[in-house]
Structure 1
Amino acid sequence: MNNSIQNNQLSVKYFGKLFVSLFFISVLSVSCGSGSDGGISSGTSAPTGVSKGVITKTDASSVSVNGVDFNTGNSSVTIDDQPGSQDDLEVGMVVSVNGRIDDNSNTGEAEHIEFEEEIQGPIDSIDAVNNSLVVLGRTVILDGATRIVDENGSPLTFSDLLENDMLEVSGLIFTDDTIQATYIKKKFDLFFDDLSEVELKGTIKMLDVVAKTFFISNQAIDYNGSVQFEDMLESDLTDGLFVEVEGTRNSSGILKARKIEEEDDRLHNNENTKIEIEAIVTAFTSSTSFSLSGQAVTTNANTRFEGGAPDDIALNVRLEVEGRMNPSGVLVATKIKFHGNRIKMEADVENINAANNTVTLFAQAVLINGATKMKDDSSSHKGNFLFSDISPGDRLKIKAYLSNGVIIATHLEREDPSFEVKLQGPVDMVSDPDLKILSVTVVTNGSTAFESRSENNITASDFFSQISTGVSVKVEGSLFSGDIVAEEIKIED
């Protein structure tokens, strides 16, 4: 196909999609009118918006995403670019919901729901220690919240997955293209070289325009021969471009591309559109400038934080962000919620379990997985700091979150020795003058300094009157017989 024909086809496709998008926006405008942000049930129109995140609940006429219950009675559904239905939507899938959102009642009216799997292909290898898989060269991490089913929707466990099983995977993406799986479907079909259809999303690297090959993660891709380029030209291929590739994989492990499509996970919506998105921080400049899966986000003095603070925002942290688009396509956050209870630990390693990839601090096992960012800030300054480099007695500084009772580290730094320990997390129990954080007893006394949420000094009586189970508290002090004797203690949320 010559460039002139290819450009004409691209133009037709582009303007066709533009027409559909404009038509959809006009339908939303007519159906939603120019009403206030009042409740949907009262007859007034809620603002149009989009909510992208994990389905937490679904039934015959609704889905719940990012804490909003959407009525789906009048919505259309697409599954991997094909027409679908409400019956195709399952808990754990990452979806985008376009429609109306009522802030007052956390309800909405869905106009359109879109689901696209992140990857479809055979299991290359299984790591039972780290609860992870490799599928088409991409690492897939599972945790207690990952939903695994067969094609009938029957629940499965990690042990039911075998090498060469065909999977469909949905989830959230870390900076290194690792997938935090939220939903996995094990297909009944067996995988066959050169026959089974596979799909892979990711960032192009090691592009060779002469050999017509590139890599996504560790999967080699060959685009020689008849390849359909969608929403792009072959000449648009470049390192760093995010694409979806469809094709087959041969016995040498090379994916022979049949179709390559440029993907863009940014939310293309009109200025001031209501946005709700759950994703992982994939680019970070500061707590006021970062990106969630390619969508630029900014915060300001009016942004509210739940379950964490601005300095908890970092690469690979999972967030739910609400806000509105500004004229530059940047999401201005009005609220940021941290996924799971935010935990910070600073203490000496008590135990290491290499089989489970955990370290123990404060008698609590902390899971180190493929997404944990590790750094040696001690005087040793060891480059390429690995789990195997950690020894009992090492001083570690850990940022983590609590997921289904498991403490999962997002960041781990080795520090120089110190007698002081630090712990931040949700309160388990309050018994003035003591409390428990993550089952660790914290002892306060006449020498303890107490601080409020606004960092003002308060009395012990005021402090204990303001905390309860689930409230996040930060304590600094010394460790004595497994208890923390508090020197300073502060309410964090």
Structure 2
Amino acid sequence: MMNRALLYLAVLLLAWLPGGCGGGAGGGIELASSGGSGGGIGGTGLTSSGTIDGFGSVFVNGIEFDTSGAEILVDGQRVGEQALGIGMVVLVVGEVNADGTTGTASRIVFDAAVRGPVQAITRDQDGDSMLLQVLGLEVIVERTGSVFEGLSYDGVQPGDLVEVSGFENTQGRLRATRIEKKEDFLPGVSVVQLKGVVDALNGTDFTLGGFTVDASGADLSALPDGVLASALRVEVTGTLDPDRAHIVASRITPQAAVAQVLPDDEDVSLQGFVADFVSAANFRVNGVVVDASAAVLRPADLVLGDGVLVEVEGSRSNGILRAQRLEGRRGRVEIEAAVASVDTASRSVTLQLAAGTVTVELDNRTLLEDDTDRVARLKLADINSGDFLEIEAIRVGDSLLATRIDRERADDDVLQAPLQAFVAGGSITLLGITFDTENAEFQAEDDVPLSAGQFYSALEPGLLVKVKDRRPADGIADEVEFEFEMGLDGDREFERDEEVDEPDEPDEPDEPDEPDSP
């Protein structure tokens, strides 16, 4: 691995840009390359985006950064490392050592994608994902794929004031990597934040994502020449009037698209969803053109296409990121069961289902979260036999690599994996574990009920199947359903119209029509 100075930028770079070409969290940051030498993937510096996946230092995009001397900024304010959280899309400036897995951060920056009250909730039938509206933005939240702070998946309610970090998907929605509940929402008092493009500018008033913004009393000092301009991408901080249609701004700062910020002739490590896919030599990640025709893929059989969450490493020249390495960051294998054993030396966890065991490995990119609130920052050493885990994994060769691990309260056993074998009308085998299906309920990918005959007539090895074995687990399947092989929870479910839970706030004025999503 070559030695070089590294600029490690891990947020969806400078901004979550609704209606733009991608984004994460951040804004108004002046970047400068750091000096020194280290290990990386090529060039004189590294610009990267990704989530915080663990602590004990800070893990971002597989690098463990020492933060002892780092300047840490959250929403523009200097804070300590304790203000950072799992799932935040962050900016890190620093150096990476020659081993390629450790480094030193000089600056870490986080800025939420959106902060505001939940206006409406659409829930999927399986209870695995939901679609929120927050200040007009559509936000997909996953039971397993999103990190929760101050609330639980089942506890999200209309009217909650939430702060969300995440990535824009190919449908223009924000897929939440982290959602945090703030204080109780009070119209005209609680601080909200919204990013977008200045439109219909009239003096100090303009529209942003369907909201009217009053900037007459706002701090505009960070804007070019300190003035508003039409088509300018900005972040508005302020309060939401009781009518829920007007924002009174206290501060407005400029935002930049990822492709505008990434320097040429430097190394890049960029996390985000594949979009505008034409071929391995021509697609975009966060609006950045990528050529991965010569890249090493992990896993080797990774199938690229729109909507696949990846981490791309390479060098950017003439506006094109020529990838040397491309890694899938989300898996479609899911295991929910109690821990049988933990091997900290080999960094692996074995889960015990009623009919067998499954072992998964961890690496520096495995996101760890504790939803039992027993520890603030979960580490592998904190996991014990008997703990109930929800694990998402991706197959790498003959092994399963955990992309994320959530410690939860005990629940039903669940196994989702490609089908290995089956006996028509009798059993199915996933990851070497065979489940009796004689009395199971069957469903298609779209949750439409199937008879046993319909299910088995459509079954063939390699199809993605999910099995639920209700507590107390006995190795006999209670629910069996096909799952979409491509896409994540919520991608397909919210393509059709669903019933929406509206806020129940008798003391508030009637809700106006929902603002258009940017």
TM-score interval, smaller chain = 0.5 to 0.7
Which residue does 2:417 correspond to in 1?
438
**Aligned partner of 2:331 among 326, 338, 341:** 341
Which residue does 2:70 correspond to in 1?
75
Contact 2:119 2:135 in 1 (8 A): yes
CA, structure 1 residues 90+485, in 2 after alignment: closer, same or farther (shift >3 Å)? closer
Q: Which amino acid aligns with 2:330?
A: G
Q: Which amino acid aligns with 1:255?
A: I
Give the SS at the match of 2:460: strand
TM superposition shift of 1:318: 1.4
Distance 1:142 1:263 in 2: 24
Contact 2:299 2:396 in 1 (8 A): no
Contact 1:52 1:276 in 2 (8 A): yes
Distance 1:64 1:442 in 2: 38
Which residue does 2:363 correspond to in 1?
none
Gaps of 5+ in 2: 1-28, 334-389, 401-414, 423-430, 433-454, 463-518
CA offsets, 1:326-361, max 9 Å, x none?
A: 2x3433211111222369xxxxxxxxxxxxxxxxxx
Give the SS at the match of 1:341: coil
TM superposition shift of 1:284: 4.7
TM superposition shift of 1:56: 0.8
Normalised to the residue count of structure 2, the TM-score between the two structures is 0.54
Which residue does 2:284 correspond to in 1?
291
Structural mapping, 1:345-424, within 5 Å = 404=391
**Aligned partner of 2:252 among 242, 260, 274:** 260
Which residue does 1:277 correspond to in 2?
270
**Is residue 58 of structure 1 aligned with residue 55 of structure 2?**
yes
Distance 2:174 2:52 in 1: 17
CA offsets, 1:166-198, max 9 Å, x none?
A: 1111111224542111112212x2222222211
**Aligned partner of 1:181 among 172, 176, 182:** 176
**Is residue 236 of structure 1 aligned with residue 235 of structure 2?**
no
Structural mapping, 1:105-116, within 5 Å = 105-116=100-111
Which residue does 2:90 correspond to in 1?
95
Give the SS at the match of 1:90: coil
Give the SS at the match of 2:99: coil
TM superposition shift of 1:483: 4.6
Contact 1:341 1:425 in 2 (8 A): no
Contact 1:197 1:246 in 2 (8 A): yes
Distance 2:417 2:396 in 1: 7
CA, structure 1 residues 208+425, in 2 after alignment: closer, same or farther (shift >3 Å)? farther
Distance 1:68 1:104 in 2: 10
Contact 1:120 1:169 in 2 (8 A): yes
Which residue does 1:142 correspond to in 2?
141
TM superposition shift of 1:325: 2.6
Which residue does 1:484 correspond to in 2?
460
Contact 2:167 2:175 in 1 (8 A): yes
Following TM superposition, the consecutive aligned residue runs of length 4 or more in structure 1 with deviations greater than 6 angstroms are 308-311, 424-429
Contact 1:75 1:113 in 2 (8 A): yes
Which residue does 1:159 correspond to in 2?
154
CA offsets, 1:254-309, max 9 Å, x none?
A: 22333332211427355443322211235555532333223x23215421222376
Aligned residues: 325
Distance 1:114 1:200 in 2: 18
* Pair member with larger Rg: 1
TM superposition shift of 1:480: 6.6
Q: Which amino acid aligns with 1:339?
A: R
**Aligned partner of 1:169 among 164, 170, 173:** 164
Give the SS at the match of 2:258: coil
The share of aligned pairs that are identical, in percent, is 24
**More helix per residue:** 1
Q: Which amino acid aligns with 1:82?
A: Q
CA, structure 1 residues 145+248, in 2 after alignment: closer, same or farther (shift >3 Å)? same
TM superposition shift of 1:83: 0.9
Which residue does 1:319 correspond to in 2?
310
Give the SS at the match of 1:236: coil
CA, structure 1 residues 317+439, in 2 after alignment: closer, same or farther (shift >3 Å)? closer
Which residue does 2:502 correspond to in 1?
none
**Aligned partner of 1:196 among 190, 206, 209:** 190
Distance 1:110 1:215 in 2: 35
CA, structure 1 residues 102+275, in 2 after alignment: closer, same or farther (shift >3 Å)? farther
TM superposition shift of 1:95: 0.6
CA, structure 1 residues 274+225, in 2 after alignment: closer, same or farther (shift >3 Å)? same
Give the SS at the match of 2:95: strand
Contact 1:426 1:437 in 2 (8 A): no
CA, structure 1 residues 342+335, in 2 after alignment: closer, same or farther (shift >3 Å)? farther
Distance 2:72 2:134 in 1: 27
Distance 1:265 1:103 in 2: 30
TM superposition shift of 1:94: 0.8
Give the SS at the match of 1:161: coil
Give the SS at the match of 1:78: strand
Distance 1:74 1:336 in 2: 31
Distance 1:438 1:425 in 2: 14
Contact 1:307 1:342 in 2 (8 A): no
TM superposition shift of 1:405: 5.3
Normalised to the residue count of structure 1, the TM-score between the two structures is 0.57
Distance 1:171 1:68 in 2: 19
